[in-house]
Amino acid sequence: MSKFTPDTIDRVRAAADMVEIVSAQTDLKRAGGGRYMGLCPFHDERSPSFSVNATDKLYHCFGCGVGGDLFEFVMSTENLDFPAAVETLAERYGVEVTREKEDPQAEKRRQEKARLTELMDRAGAFYSNYFQTADEARKAREYLAGRGLDAEVLARFGVGYAPSAWDTLLVRSQRAGFKVSELERAGLAQKGRNGGFYDRFRERITFPIRDARGRTLGFGARAMRDEQGAKYINTAENELFHKSEILYGIDQARPAMAKADRAILVEGYTDVIALHQVGLAESVGIMGTALTEQQVAQLSAVVSTVVLALDADAAGQKAMLRAQEVAAGRQLRILVAAMPDGVDPAEMAIEDDGADRFRQLVEGAIELAEFQINLILSGVDTSSPRDRDRGLAEAAPVLAKVPPGATRQELIRRVTEKLQIDPSVVLSRVEAAEAGETETSSQMPGKPSTSQTAPGRASGQVPDGPTVETATRPVLSRRERTERWLLAMCVARPDEGRQWLEKLDTRHLTSPLIERTVEWLKGHLDDPASGLDPEDRELQKMVAALVARADPDLVGTGSIRRNYLELELAALEDDIAAAAREGDATRRAELSRQRSELVEQIRRAGADEPVG
């Protein structure tokens, strides 16, 4: 995709309301001077340390160190890349985007896809309006009301109704300027035996399936009569709609997921809607029972815990077991909320006290390994030695994946007692399975080990896309904190800060990024946030964090000098260590003398506040 013009990015930044954007994730209170404070949405804390600069549209957390501009905030909290964040904000605030020149074929494909997306959104709006107003849709409204779903939540999810006529949407869309071929590509129309086209969805309740940005990509449609064939039909796979990559309700659930650091996974459309209605807004649907790697990737970018609340039938149990496979290599905790037989979340939510019962199931969710062991043991005929052996053979690999500790010990005890097998035999089988797992992993270099730090959320790295950083991110060293405070103070007091920036060189600095930041500040200290390359996200984030921290009122007399001296001391200690490694006693003694003098200078500096 071609880059946005700098003017587009500037206009989006100017139009966006930073306080409104951040307030969707955490409550903010005005702290004066265009600054706001709140609890950090990226890590757990009790005292507010998250600062927002509403004027410059920047944020910084003094607790965990995250920071950036409004684009970075949207990227992190909504799991978007930079172009998608720009487009999302442009749509939200009515800014027309323009792009630099690109390959004509690529531009054509982009425009065609944009047309299809517009067509799908228009279809969703038509179905929703028809559901709310048409007499033909009355039975559909009554049916969903009977399921306990109120009009407000149905409207929020865009639930609609497709008329029974063969070509209602087809005709309306053509009148709006869309081609029949576009309706076919979008999965809204299909070809009949006689060569003509007709609406794919007719006389059905429609559930728009949206991506994380709220764009309609497809529909699920429920029949209103038994003679209509399949109870549910979906949009067929096409260039917009890939069922395996989508979580139903993700556009509505993502803020709540990020805030709760948890996602509740259910199967059906009405399950999701019902749970949102009763306040469990972190719920999303997998639209069936096959949890995919793409869905897990979306979840792990936003939350650290997933609670599976799937039907207790065989298909639901199989989905829960597969969840462990697709989540391998990611630091994603998977729990199971055991649903009663024959009851789905939507049914439970509308019962008297049903919402509280469901919450209790979620809060009492058990580890996936415990669920697997319970499932295996429940299917063993303990009167048959052969079946007990089978149960042990199935349980051992599950136990082998549980880290050593109390949980594994308890599960081994259950297996031992249920199967009536000597504990030493069970333990040896588990150790053998564990050894086999390790050997298999070592022979498969492409397979991630569950003991490795997962890419993305827990490590703070972004190998494939943006993620929400967490409190497990590396803690800054004292030296790193000192250099960042120094740079922030130089931004806050540019007249004084220039001389100290010129004194800094690579000896004082801890990383290439900080070196690039210093070079940028030397030439842009009066307005460091302007003119940055929007594609250089690392430098954007660092400068934004410094500007967010830059408060002249926090820079006491001599503060910049003292921080510089602290960095000089750190550099001098590096030199002393190097001299020691080289066995240069004379140089080491001279450097140690300089160090003593510098320590005394720092002691006498008398800055108004402590370093870092």
In terms of domains, do 348 and 414 share one?
Answer: yes
CA 56 to chain centre: 25
Q: Which pLDDT value is given to residue 212?
A: 83
In terms of domains, do 169 and 306 share one?
Answer: no
> Hey, which residues does 105 pair with through a beta bridge?
none
* Structure confidence by residue, pLDDT tens digits, 421-457: 998 999 999 888 887 654 444 443 333 333 333 333 3
492 within a domain of the structure (yes/no): yes
* Structure confidence by residue, pLDDT tens digits, 11-67: 898 888 898 889 888 889 888 767 889 998 887 778 888 888 888 888 988 877 788
d(CA 567, CA 63): 22
Q: What is the CATH number of the domain that holds 16?
A: 3.90.580.10
Asked whether the whole model's pTM tops 0.85, one would answer no
Any idea which residue has 């806050």 for tokens? 492
In terms of domains, do 573 and 597 share one?
Answer: yes
Q: Of 60, 92, 124, which one is at a domain's C-terminal end?
A: 92
Q: What is the CATH number of the domain that holds 318?
A: 3.40.1360.10
In terms of domains, do 162 and 212 share one?
Answer: yes
Output phi, psi for 503, to 5 deg: -80, -20
455 within a domain of the structure (yes/no): no
d(CA 269, CA 207): 7
Q: Of 92, 122, 152, which one is at a domain's C-terminal end?
A: 92
In terms of domains, do 305 and 226 share one?
Answer: no
d(CA 529, CA 551): 15
d(CA 64, CA 525): 25
In terms of domains, do 272 and 233 share one?
Answer: no
Q: Which pLDDT value is given to residue 254?
A: 85
In terms of domains, do 87 and 122 share one?
Answer: no
Q: Of 213, 241, 269, which one is at a domain's C-terminal end?
A: 241
Question: Whole domain around residue 197: which residue ranges?
Answer: 104-241
d(CA 515, CA 389): 63
Q: What is the CATH number of the domain that holds 212?
A: 3.90.980.10
What's the longest Cα–Cα distance across the chain?
97
Which has the closest alpha carbon to 446: 329, 331, 332?
329
461 within a domain of the structure (yes/no): no
Environment class of residue 437 by beta-carbon count within 10 Å: exposed (0-12), middle (13-18) or buried (19+)?
Answer: middle
In terms of domains, do 268 and 389 share one?
Answer: yes
In terms of domains, do 402 and 541 share one?
Answer: no
Q: What is the DSSP letter of 95?
A: P
In terms of domains, do 190 and 309 share one?
Answer: no
Q: Which pLDDT value is given to residue 598?
A: 86
Q: Which helix (H) or strand (E) holds 160?
A: strand 160-162
Q: Do residues 445 and 326 lie in contact, with contact meaning Cβ atoms separated by under 8 Å?
A: no
In terms of domains, do 224 and 360 share one?
Answer: no
Helix (H, G, I), strand (E, B) or coil at 38: strand
In 176-313, where does DSSP find H-type helix? Answer: 180-185, 250-260, 269-277, 293-300
571 within a domain of the structure (yes/no): yes
Q: Which pLDDT value is given to residue 475?
A: 54
Number of H helices, E strands in the chain: 25, 16
Residues of the chain with confidence (pLDDT) below 50: 438-474, 607-612
298 within a domain of the structure (yes/no): yes
> Could you give the C-alpha distances from 88 to 58, 107, 354, 388, 475, in angstroms and in order?
18, 19, 37, 56, 32
Number of domains comprising the chain: 4
462 within a domain of the structure (yes/no): no
In terms of domains, do 372 and 432 share one?
Answer: yes
151 within a domain of the structure (yes/no): yes
Which has the closest alpha carbon to 329: 401, 269, 238?
401
> Hey, which residues does 284 pair with through a beta bridge?
265
Q: Which pLDDT value is given to residue 330?
A: 66
